[in-house]
Amino acid sequence: MVMKTLVRLFAILMVLISSVGFVGSAVAANLNPVDAKLTTEFGQKIDLNNDHIRKFRDLRGFYPNLASKIINNAPYDSVEEVLEIPGLSERQKQRLEANFDQFVVTPPADELIEGGDRLNPGLY
């Protein structure tokens, strides 16, 4: 009888502990700046200050050369500022202008830009 009671208490305790862990991780996720960015245009457009090079693959003429120039010259205060990158050809400027509606600029997030992961995000 005592053993059954102890096992039941232990099971209830484990359920309570796992519930607290789940709630705690949900609260922590709400505090994550990257998750906050996903509620903005960041999730729908290419963020010139935060996204990695592979996000540019669907844009004709961007991957990898023009995308590398964009990443290496970040951060930007506005989308139009990418036209000021030194050494851009007229054709590259035209490609940029034609795709302004695909881009967004948000403040750089350390979680997304540190360690050179923007040029080599390790996706193979």
The alpha-helical segments, DSSP class H, found in the chain are 2-31, 33-38, 65-72, 90-98, 110-113
Domain chopping of the chain, boundaries: 32-112
Q: What is the overall mean pLDDT for the chain?
A: 83
What is the token pair recorded at 74?
């970040």
- For residues 121 and 100, the model is more confident at 100
**pLDDT on residue 30:** 56
Using one digit for the tens of pLDDT, what is the confidence trace for 47-65?
A: 999 999 999 999 999 999 9
The matching CATH number, chosen from 2.40.50.140, 3.40.50.11540, 1.10.579.10, 1.10.150.320, for 32-112 is 1.10.150.320
CB of 46 within 8 A of CB of 55? yes
Quickly state the pLDDT bin for 3 (edges 50, 70, 90).
confident
